Structure 1
């Protein structure tokens, strides 16, 4: 087997891997990028971009049907499923093509195709054709869909989001399992494109929300449009010819139904692609899920003896924050540290920001209500403000006046801590709030910023005013909060 000796080996050529390669190359010319599958990131092939293409088509159909509310008569709205999927694939392939074009900037001799597996802590066997010895190694292998074993009975009727974007036409019906980000985005889009739909969940979770008030508002709103049960009682799943049968207890009643669907869409999460790397040969400490333990600021893994390792892990492979902007940031940090190893630098991590492109949109900024309550709740340091979109002027004008936002601040300091948002176009407000949180602004400073009229952001101002009114400010409050400390 041919031997390659390099300074840095990167396993995975997705968003994190590509970012790591560019950062590592600033330190060494001896860097190789190893990819076991097709080039082209998860975002471009089966994630962010194709899902937004489906959502855009669904939004067009929905707006046409809803035009009557403005006094605009649109008759005979017809969805051409084949045309929808054809455009999706064409534009998706364009995005993938852009990624592939960027790959051409990486010298061919620095790219190796094949599945990598650790033979020892510094040696990787790539397929059956190359052995790579590296001073440092970066794991950036991404993730793949996962589902409970009980879904296997659906056979060829079981699909994931990876499969949806290969459809040549839209199905007549789909049972979606998992009301998380993927399930809600694809589920609502399919419904608006005329696909009969039911969404089933377990345990009551809905999207990214942890604040019960926001979650309940979102659940009620979505149920006005399509059936969703975040804590469903599903009794049986069966394969029946070219369909799948789902037997379930109807939400809000004790009646049991058996319904036939063309497909069962499993949107029940993703698992990191680390189980085929031979990590038992890498000498790394692993968590209960088999994922290497690592420092989130340096992305450096730890050895089984708890010493720091020469191996780094970035992106979806570490299962921390499976978002493109986080993968890009983590890749850069890992690549930089792998290049300067054994010297390390703590990379700057931005405040958490997540957006779900349903309608209304969902967004979270900061650690979320549950984590903040856990961190500060012992001494009642957490202040909460809220605002509804039901009577917000611009939202009423647009006939999109649905949703609720909850904003969090710290008593004493008045500092803004985060938010959970459900409402029209909150992707933009979420960015404003993330920037404010990154700058450690107080609620008072945020309210002093300019606010135009009439805009949706005036709803945000209402929420901040409500939060400001609930804040208890002053040195005595601050001192008491500081005395409590995290977790007290």
Structure 2
């Protein structure tokens, strides 16, 4: 039986980071993956294809919007198949970077198949070929959650794993669930020409965002999508070639017909085939329980990425993968910290999230927090581009240390990165005031938020009284 210093199960972002990092440090590493190519959900079904899809839809939308505003006429039909081709081209190009050959050249042994525990140190591949590891990392990701809706087993539907296999543009689509990824895809389909309805059980979408961000992005999306809130889907069926979704709102049963149904009802961890019981690894509803060092109850077994349920984003898994190299390979006890890790929802406008919301900050730090808000309608670049329906909101403690930062606006995921650096390195919001931004840029909105801090600190306190006396008597 081959023995390894580290076995990694799953070839997504976290697993690849852990495997390559450990191998580069001299560890003997095995990587087990059951997909045709490395890269995981992010490359094949998530981040990469969705952003290629979103960009294509945005370009189509810009054509129609520009034509309407400037008196031009647009003719012809959208070549939806070209959008799908662009998605596959992007996947293929990045797949070359995440090739087996590259990781093998780093010293990683790659095994194809499903990995499962035989005991707490032994892993089998497709039930055979056991290998042994001193330490093991579980990084098997997640898959679309399909709720037990009446009739679901008899009706075909789309998920984020199948949408990019479409060979035609559905005339109408009903999204069951309004999660962030679903909304990105819903807006894109609408821009290609589909009539899109989103059925959501809650009162709103973007429930994890700050309360002042939610209405702005919702209002923008309502121009392109139809929302049905506080609705429970009770059944789906197929009648006369159309999909029929039955749902209840305020106790009243309603139906809606569409050409396609998209399941956007969250994710579930890929842990059911791992035979965790054989290793004695604890889990909760499929998610593997880990401590702050990403260790399971078996100290030599770690879990990163979607399977631990802590921070289900690709960049979060990559960060955890780097931490694993330190902890699993070198035996350190570094703790993971998600407080300085942002996320972005790539609708238009984009939604940026870092740290605590205002409500969370009040619960944790009391009423002495400070909030600085700047609308995009107060920033010259946004005014010039006619992108005035946006907001930046920075939450600090009473001394100006950044607790959270949130934004909604075009490309906010790009121009908010400056505050990620500031928070990561312990800078106060006021420090951004001294950073010179070229005029006019969108990032200047953070300058203005920082200037608000100084105006409040300098001009609402004792300094104006002292300076007034100084000017009067000395100058």
Q: Which SS does the other structure have where 1:197 is aligned?
A: strand
| Structure 1 residue 55, shift from structure 2 partner | 0.8
Structure 2 counterpart of 1:434, from 396, 416, 420: 420
Q: Whole-Å Cα distance in 1 between the matches of residues 246 and 127 of structure 2? A: 47
Q: Whole-Å Cα distance in 1 between the matches of residues 442 and 90 of structure 2? A: 30
What is the TM-score with the length of structure 1 in the denominator? 0.86
Structure 1 partner of 2:369 = 382
Q: Which SS does the other structure have where 1:105 is aligned?
A: helix
- The question of whether the paired residues in 1 share the 8 Å contact of 2:372 and 2:453 is answered with yes
Q: Does 1:302 align with 2:291?
A: no
Q: Whole-Å Cα distance in 2 between the matches of residues 107 and 462 of structure 1? A: 47
Structure 2 partner of 1:78 = 77
- The question of whether the paired residues in 1 share the 8 Å contact of 2:184 and 2:346 is answered with yes
| Structure 1 residue 215, shift from structure 2 partner | 0.8
Q: Whole-Å Cα distance in 2 between the matches of residues 466 and 232 of structure 1? A: 42
Structure 1 partner of 2:466 = none
Q: Whole-Å Cα distance in 1 between the matches of residues 16 and 296 of structure 2? A: 19
Structure 1 partner of 2:37 = 39
- The question of whether the paired residues in 2 share the 8 Å contact of 1:8 and 1:32 is answered with yes
- The question of whether the paired residues in 1 share the 8 Å contact of 2:116 and 2:127 is answered with no
Instruction: Give the stretch that moved more between structures: 385-394 or 172-181.
Output: 385-394
Q: Does 1:292 align with 2:288?
A: yes
Q: CA 1:235/1:124 → structure 2, altered by over 3 Å: closer, same or farther?
A: closer
Superimposed CA distance per residue, residues 30-83 of structure 1 (whole angstroms, 9 cap, x where no aligned partner): 321111233232221111111111111111111111114653624226311122
How many equivalent pairs are there? 459
Q: Whole-Å Cα distance in 2 between the matches of residues 151 and 349 of structure 1? A: 38
Q: Whole-Å Cα distance in 2 between the matches of residues 69 and 468 of structure 1? A: 43
Instruction: Give the stretch that moved more between structures: 361-370 or 40-49.
Output: 361-370
Q: Which SS does the other structure have where 1:265 is aligned?
A: strand
| Structure 1 residue 143, shift from structure 2 partner | 1.1
- The question of whether the paired residues in 1 share the 8 Å contact of 2:197 and 2:226 is answered with yes
Structure 2 partner of 1:333 = 323
Q: Does 1:271 align with 2:241?
A: no
Q: CA 1:471/1:126 → structure 2, altered by over 3 Å: closer, same or farther?
A: farther
- The question of whether the paired residues in 1 share the 8 Å contact of 2:58 and 2:188 is answered with yes
Instruction: Give the stretch that moved more between structures: 7-16 or 84-93.
Output: 84-93
Q: Which SS does the other structure have where 1:219 is aligned?
A: helix
Structure 1 partner of 2:356 = 367
Instruction: Give the stretch that moved more between structures: 184-193 or 360-369.
Output: 360-369
Q: CA 1:151/1:386 → structure 2, altered by over 3 Å: closer, same or farther?
A: farther
- The question of whether the paired residues in 2 share the 8 Å contact of 1:160 and 1:267 is answered with yes
Matches within 5 A, 1:450-465: 450-465=436-451
Q: Whole-Å Cα distance in 1 between the matches of residues 253 and 77 of structure 2? A: 33
Q: Whole-Å Cα distance in 1 between the matches of residues 27 and 251 of structure 2? A: 66
Q: Which SS does the other structure have where 1:436 is aligned?
A: helix
Q: Does 1:321 align with 2:311?
A: yes
Instruction: Give the stretch that moved more between structures: 126-135 or 52-61.
Output: 126-135
- The question of whether the paired residues in 1 share the 8 Å contact of 2:209 and 2:353 is answered with no
Q: Whole-Å Cα distance in 2 between the matches of residues 391 and 236 of structure 1? A: 47
- The question of whether the paired residues in 2 share the 8 Å contact of 1:123 and 1:132 is answered with yes
| Structure 1 residue 284, shift from structure 2 partner | 2.5
Matches within 5 A, 1:48-447: 48-68=47-67, 71=70, 73-76=72-75, 78-100=77-99, 103=102, 105-106=104-105, 110-150=109-149, 153=152, 155-207=154-206, 209-234=208-233, 236-240=235-239, 242-248=241-247, 257-286=254-283, 288-296=284-292, 298-303=293-298, 309-341=299-331, 343-346=332-335, 351-377=340-366, 380-390=367-377, 392-411=379-398, 413-447=399-433
Q: Which SS does the other structure have where 2:6 is aligned?
A: strand
| 5+ long unaligned stretches in structure 1 | 304-308, 475-488
Structure 2 partner of 1:479 = none
Q: Which SS does the other structure have where 1:185 is aligned?
A: helix
Let me know the Cα RMSD of the aligned residues: 2.8
Structure 1 partner of 2:470 = none
Q: Which SS does the other structure have where 2:99 is aligned?
A: helix
- The question of whether the paired residues in 1 share the 8 Å contact of 2:33 and 2:111 is answered with yes
| 5+ long unaligned stretches in structure 2 | 462-475
Structure 2 partner of 1:485 = none
Structure 2 partner of 1:12 = 10
